[in-house]
Each structure stands twice: as C-alpha cells, then as structure tokens.
Chains A and B, each alone.
Chain A
C-alpha cells in the first residue's frame, strides 16, 4: 500500500510553492482577533472615523445612477477619472505625473507583484531595507528572486551600505534588478529616509542600472503634516512609484496604483490584464466619488491625529515597562514601532508565551529573508485604543520578564531556526 499524502498534486507544484506551508508561528495569530487578546500584530487601519452614512449614500447612488458602468468590465489600466485624481494625490509629495503613466491595481500589493513579475527571473537580486515589508518579501520569494538586505539607520537606508551591497552582488556575478524601498515611516522599522539621502540613493541606483521601486503607502500619514518629497519626484525615469488608498481611506476596496515610466507602464498594463483583466470598476468609481465629494484631506488629518495619540501611548508605555537594554524606533508617522530586545531574546520563540499572556506582536524574523531579526519585533499602534495599547505593552513586559528568567537559566544563544510564514493574515487587527 503506497499510503496517502492527502495531496494528490504534491509532485506537480511549482518550485515557488516551497515556502507555502503550515506554520506554528502563523497559527498562533489565530487568537489575535479575539477581544481578550491585545493585538499589536496586525496593520489594520482604524476605520471608525470614516463617514459611513455619507459613504453609504454615495455608493448607493453609484449603483443607482451609474451601475451599468460601475458593474461592467473596464480598462486594464484603470478608469481615467481616478487616474487623474491619483495624480493630484501624488502632487502633494512633489510628483508631477500624467494620468497615462498611472496603472490602477488591486491594492499596491498587486502592483508589487506585477512589477516583480516583469522584472525578475529566478535568482535575480532585489535589494531591500533590513528589515523590510513581509508582504513584499513574500512576493519576491514567489518569483524566486533573491533578497539582499541593505542596512538602515535612523535616517533610513544607508547609501554606503547600498553601494557595498550592489558591488558585492556584482562581484558574485549576481544580477541586481530592483531596489525596493519604503522611504516614509517604513514597515516595519518606522524610520523615514532623510531628505538629504533621497537624491543620493536615486543617483546610486541610476548609475548602477538598478530600478527603484518606491513603495509609499504611509506617506500622507506623517504626524508633523510635513510632506516629504517622493524619490520619484526628482527621478521620473528610474523610479516606479507604488501608492495605495488602503491606509488613507479603506483597505477593503483594494485599490492601489503604480506610476511608472512609459515603457514599464505598457508592460504593467498587459501584466495587469493577464492577471485580473481590469481592476474592479465599482471600487475605483467609489474611490473616485469619495475623492471628489468628501473632504478626504480632513479625513487624513483625522487619521493622523488618531495614530499620533496611539503612537504616543505606545512610546509612553514602552518607556514605562520595557526592561533595560530594550530600544525602539520613534516613528514620525505610519503604523509601526520596531523594538530591539536585549541580547539573547528570541521574539519568535517567545510568541507562545505572549499568546498565553493575551498579547500579540509580529516576530522580527518575519521581516528578513535571511533569518535575521530574532531580537526584534514589530508593534502596531494603528488599531487598538490607547488604553489597550498600554495594557498590551504591560502584558508584553510580563512576557519578557518570564523569558528573561528562562534565558538566565539556559543562557543566551538558545535560539532556534524558524521556517514558514511568520506574519498574521491581513485581517488580523
């Protein structure tokens, strides 16, 4: 009897499914949505301040008056009205763009996927900040691209480290295709690329023949209201810019975009069509109406104020409760604080203890393609109330106390390799 593996397709899967497996760490996040647990793990925006009654009216009118268009197939590039409005949104960050160069996608995650698809063959190198967005690492892995991390400091990506990484890759005969960067309030580190470094990074990439993939979901969510100039604003030919309405409006509509140089844009449109035919017309029209009818900039201000209060709650709680030797970043916007624990802690290994203590976070190893990050963890302040954030950090401190005791007993360095997905699903608060 040959037995059964419970998967008759097992020998037919593509190699790129290698990392798609059950993961004990990911399973632990199943409790994160329970009200008993303070989840500092997910990145769900706090939508309670949206004008839901007004939106209901507007979206109802969309079906009633324009349903035959909104519910029909549409352009693979996205509807023209929205692309024009997207250009107005990007103008806030100094970008001058033509709507013809905008490709609307199903969230910027899809733009990330399409860009990787048209640029990367298996084995090609994508440079990314250390650490980097877990969803991007997953996409790069799916296309069998190799991620090489580049160090950051408090001013974001370090130019010298970028040069060194490119040189090392070249010396090893590896082909570097893209630099993937989140310049503003980076996920997960919360740091922002300084204004001074932006042109330097752009020039390094341009002269090295590496295309910049600038991912900017949080750019409008800076707490000081200062608009940071996009890298794309000064380098339209070598930068592909990704934007999203998920953080500034609502992620459930899944609308993002890519702004790309003409030749790249052509390929993105074809890739988009081969994937979805067209991004959802109804959702695009809904966002277009929202931008045209509502005071969306005031909504963003409301989001900023909410997130600022929550960031302050988190920073205050960290200062009050974290053990000596713990450090963390101080984000000027966005959703995340990146915490570095004292030597010897293993944030993935202690996650079960955290779940027992009814608090959740994302282990740092999720944000590296190379198993680094065991001492780090990402805390989100976007969704829980300030009171819950304080309680969550207090619980986390208790978890660290327990872990410290185990470390004292067994010594440091008893960390374990982790495999498989280590981040929560998108609907985890």
Chain B
C-alpha cells in the first residue's frame, strides 16, 4: 500500500521537562515524513488537540512527546479512545515501561542482567532519617552509585555518586523531578543504546550506538551539545558482546510488550554482559539522538522507517 495520501498527526511539545527536546524531535520527524510524501500536521498535546482530531480525523499519529504524558501511556490512551491508530507501544505497556524500577524488575525476573537497585520515596528518607538511609544504601549497594528519578529521560535529575557525602545533593536533584527515586549500583563498561525495529517479520535489533561523552558523564549537556559526545555505530564491541546487547534489547522489547519501535539503553560490562538501564517507548529523534543514528547505520531512512510503521499501525487498527 502506498502512503502518499496519508495524513499523519505528529505530536510534539507537551508540558514536560523534555518539551524542548520533543519539539526538536517533532520537527525532525515531520520533515522526514513529508520527504516521504505524507501530509503531516505537527501539533502540541494541549486543549486544542481533541477538537482538532475530531475535525480532521488523521489516518494515524506519531508520538514524538518525551517524558510525562507522552511516555506514560496517557496520550496513547487518548489516541486509543479516539480510534486513531498510532505508532508505538500501547497505553498499558507504556505505563509499565515508563516506570524504570518496574521495567528493571520485569526483566530481572526473566533472568536478564540489570544493576542492583532500590526504589525509595522521599517520605522514606524523611521518616527513617536521611543520613541513616544514605549510609545503608551505600553499605548495601557500594559506591559509586547512580541516583535518578524513576520516570523521564534525557538524564534529567540523574547523577553519579562517588562519595557518600555527595548523596544528599544527588537525591535533592532527583527529587526535584518526582517523589520517588531509583538508586542503583554504578556499572562500569561500554554505554550503548540499541534500537529495536518491529516489522512484518518481527522485531530486529539495529546496530548498537556506543556513546563516549567527553566529560565522562552522558548528561543533558553531553546529549544535546553537538560535539561533546563521540558516537560509535556500530559499537566497538566484540561479536559476543554485540550479540548480548542486541539480545537484551530484543528481550526488553518482548518482555515489556513494546511495539513498533523502542530503544534500550544498557551498559556492557567488563565480562561482555549487557546490563539493562532503561527503555524509551518514544525515543528522541533529534539531530543528536541515537535512534536516528542506528537507523542511518542500517542503511535505512528515518522517514521511510516511520512511514512503514504508520502503515503497520493503520493495518493494525489502533
């Protein structure tokens, strides 16, 4: 089926901390889809959205929203209510994948590797005493540690802790983004990002993208300042480790019930074991994002990939 006449809604913006990234993703995928001949309406997820959908009834939607409603299943649920087919994971599974500790737990139960972690709410620190709990965390997990909000991407609110004394400020930084944090053991190794693309023949892993931030930390600045991180696609891993990273991403895609396209972030440790960090159900599509790099390294075009996913979504119904 050709997609020439398709009218696609691209959703970008939102009111999340990642609005700026989302606007850039939305702009990029809009351009890519238009170059494939699709008619694209780029819109924000705001109070005008539902009346617009009712009036225009697009053939399908692409969600380029990051964080919050764009990834926690809310916008997906709204699209399901309207009957507009969309690219990506359904609302139920978004809600699972969106919660980092839940995703880790589901994968760990299936025997996949992920750094040992604890999930703690702010009131736990308040009620039990922060100092005692910080000491207990460091004692149990060892240093260094990663502290991050349980939701959201772009490494916002995330930081590495190398000394116990730095833990309070890391926790304060993470709690600015939400009331619950994930504290996990810091894994040293090769940081990779693996995109899984699901077509008629099932899901397949695209080449892993290895990230090497100049500062040593893949934080917001390193992600979105061109030139501050070196990317290797495919990752500089041996054959077995490459396979491990791909297998992990495919397993995450399957176990978490992800659909169409997903991105799994992982660390390949010194033994070649791929340790799961998190998944993105609505991965970044900006100039410095890793999904477009993986697509390019596979000899594919971003617009064509999404145009095919749009047809797949329409064929699926919703």
- Chain A residues engaging chain B, CB cutoff 8 angstroms: 1-7, 9-10, 21-24, 27-28, 30-31, 34, 36-37, 346, 349-353, 355-356, 358, 403, 405-411, 414-416, 419-420
Q: With A and B bound together, what is the CA distance between A419 and B224 in angstroms?
A: 14
Q: With A and B bound together, what is the CA distance between A419 and B159 in angstroms?
A: 14
Q: With A and B bound together, what is the CA distance between A254 and B172 in angstroms?
A: 41
Asked whether any CB of chain A lies closer than 8 Å to the CB of B176, the reply is yes
User: Across the interface, do A5 and B226 meet the contact criterion of CB distance under 8 Å?
Assistant: yes
Contact of A7 among B15, B18, B219, B227 (CB under 8 A): B227
The 10 closest A-B pairs by CB, nearest first: A7-B227, A22-B224, A30-B20, A10-B227, A24-B220, A7-B226, A414-B169, A3-B232, A30-B19, A414-B168
Interface residues of B in 152-173 (CB under 8 A from A): 154, 156-157, 159, 168-169, 171-173
User: Across the interface, do B122 and A406 meet the contact criterion of CB distance under 8 Å?
Assistant: yes
User: Across the interface, do A22 and B17 meet the contact criterion of CB distance under 8 Å?
Assistant: no
User: Across the interface, do B23 and A352 meet the contact criterion of CB distance under 8 Å?
Assistant: no
Q: Which residues of B contact A358 (CB under 8 A)?
A: 15
Whole-angstrom distance from the CB of A222 to the nearest CB of chain B? 36
User: Across the interface, do A6 and B226 meet the contact criterion of CB distance under 8 Å?
Assistant: yes
Q: Which residues of B contact A31 (CB under 8 A)?
A: 15-17, 19
| Chain B 224-251 interface 0/1 with A at a Cβ cutoff of 8 Å (1 = within) | 1111111111001000000000000000
| Chain B, Cβ-Cβ closest to A354 | B176
Asked whether any CB of chain A lies closer than 8 Å to the CB of B7, the reply is no
Contact of A24 among B16, B23, B221 (CB under 8 A): B221
User: Across the interface, do B156 and A352 meet the contact criterion of CB distance under 8 Å?
Assistant: yes
Whole-angstrom distance from the CB of B291 to the nearest CB of chain A? 14
Knowing A6-B287, A24-B220, A31-B19 are in contact, say whether A410-B46 is a contact too (CB < 8 A). Answer: no
User: Across the interface, do A22 and B223 meet the contact criterion of CB distance under 8 Å?
Assistant: yes
Q: Which residues of B contact A5 (CB under 8 A)?
A: 226-231
Q: With A and B bound together, what is the CA distance between A410 and B125 in angstroms?
A: 8
Q: Which residues of A contact B306 (CB under 8 A)?
A: none
Q: Which residues of B contact A353 (CB under 8 A)?
A: 176-177
User: Across the interface, do B126 and A408 meet the contact criterion of CB distance under 8 Å?
Assistant: yes
User: Across the interface, do B226 and A3 meet the contact criterion of CB distance under 8 Å?
Assistant: no
Knowing A5-B227, A416-B173 are in contact, say whether A405-B122 is a contact too (CB < 8 A). Answer: yes
Q: With A and B bound together, what is the CA distance between A27 and B220 in angstroms?
A: 10
Whole-angstrom distance from the CB of A399 to the nearest CB of chain B? 10
User: Across the interface, do A411 and B168 meet the contact criterion of CB distance under 8 Å?
Assistant: yes
Q: Which residues of A contact B130 (CB under 8 A)?
A: 409-411
User: Across the interface, do A352 and B231 meet the contact criterion of CB distance under 8 Å?
Assistant: no
Knowing A24-B220, A27-B17 are in contact, say whether A34-B46 is a contact too (CB < 8 A). Answer: yes
Q: With A and B bound together, what is the CA distance between A34 and B46 in angstroms?
A: 9
User: Across the interface, do B221 and A23 meet the contact criterion of CB distance under 8 Å?
Assistant: yes
Q: Which residues of B contact A21 (CB under 8 A)?
A: 221, 225, 228
Q: With A and B bound together, what is the CA distance between A405 and B175 in angstroms?
A: 11
Q: With A and B bound together, what is the CA distance between A372 and B212 in angstroms?
A: 31
- Chain B residues engaging chain A, CB cutoff 8 angstroms: 13, 15-21, 23, 46, 122, 125-126, 130, 154, 156-157, 159, 168-169, 171-173, 175-177, 210, 212, 219-221, 223-233, 236, 287-288
Whole-angstrom distance from the CB of B247 to the nearest CB of chain A? 23
Whole-angstrom distance from the CB of B57 to the nearest CB of chain A? 26
Q: Which residues of B contact A356 (CB under 8 A)?
A: 17, 177
Q: Which residues of A contact B169 (CB under 8 A)?
A: 414-416
Whole-angstrom distance from the CB of A413 to the nearest CB of chain B? 8
Knowing A27-B220, A30-B19, A405-B122 are in contact, say whether A4-B231 is a contact too (CB < 8 A). Answer: yes
Q: With A and B bound together, what is the CA distance between A255 and B236 in angstroms?
A: 54
User: Across the interface, do A410 and B156 meet the contact criterion of CB distance under 8 Å?
Assistant: no
7 A–B contacts from the bound complex (CB under 8 Å): A3-B210, A6-B229, A24-B221, A30-B20, A34-B46, A405-B122, A411-B130
Q: Which residues of B contact A414 (CB under 8 A)?
A: 168-169, 171-172
Q: Which residues of B contact A350 (CB under 8 A)?
A: 176
User: Across the interface, do B171 and A410 meet the contact criterion of CB distance under 8 Å?
Assistant: yes
Knowing A6-B231, A21-B228, A405-B126 are in contact, say whether A346-B220 is a contact too (CB < 8 A). Answer: no
Contact of A27 among B20, B125, B233, B236 (CB under 8 A): B20
Q: Which residues of B contact A408 (CB under 8 A)?
A: 126
| Chain A, Cβ-Cβ closest to B288 | A6
Whole-angstrom distance from the CB of A373 to the nearest CB of chain B? 17
User: Across the interface, do B227 and A6 meet the contact criterion of CB distance under 8 Å?
Assistant: yes
Instruction: Tell me which of A3, A28, A407 has the highest count of chain B C-beta atoms within 10 A of its own C-beta.
Output: A3
Whole-angstrom distance from the CB of A359 to the nearest CB of chain B? 12
Q: Which residues of A contact B229 (CB under 8 A)?
A: 5-6
| Chain A, Cβ-Cβ closest to B68 | A356
Q: Which residues of B contact A3 (CB under 8 A)?
A: 210, 212, 230-232
| Chain A, Cβ-Cβ closest to B229 | A5
Q: Which residues of A contact B177 (CB under 8 A)?
A: 352-353, 356
Q: With A and B bound together, what is the CA distance between A351 and B176 in angstroms?
A: 8
Q: With A and B bound together, what is the CA distance between A358 and B14 in angstroms?
A: 12
User: Across the interface, do B220 and A409 meet the contact criterion of CB distance under 8 Å?
Assistant: no
Whole-angstrom distance from the CB of B47 to the nearest CB of chain A? 9
Q: With A and B bound together, what is the CA distance between A351 and B156 in angstroms?
A: 12
Instruction: Tell me which of A27, A353, A419 has the highest count of chain B C-beta atoms within 10 A of its own C-beta.
Output: A27
Knowing A6-B226, A405-B126, A406-B122 are in contact, say whether A24-B15 is a contact too (CB < 8 A). Answer: no
| Chain B, Cβ-Cβ closest to A1 | B232
| Chain B, Cβ-Cβ closest to A27 | B20
Q: Which residues of B contact A403 (CB under 8 A)?
A: 176
Q: With A and B bound together, what is the CA distance between A351 and B177 in angstroms?
A: 9
Q: Which residues of A contact B224 (CB under 8 A)?
A: 22, 27
Q: With A and B bound together, what is the CA distance between A2 and B233 in angstroms?
A: 10
Q: Which residues of B contact A6 (CB under 8 A)?
A: 226-227, 229, 231, 287-288
User: Across the interface, do A352 and B232 meet the contact criterion of CB distance under 8 Å?
Assistant: no
Whole-angstrom distance from the CB of A287 to the nearest CB of chain B? 33
Q: With A and B bound together, what is the CA distance between A349 and B169 in angstroms?
A: 9
| Chain B, Cβ-Cβ closest to A351 | B176
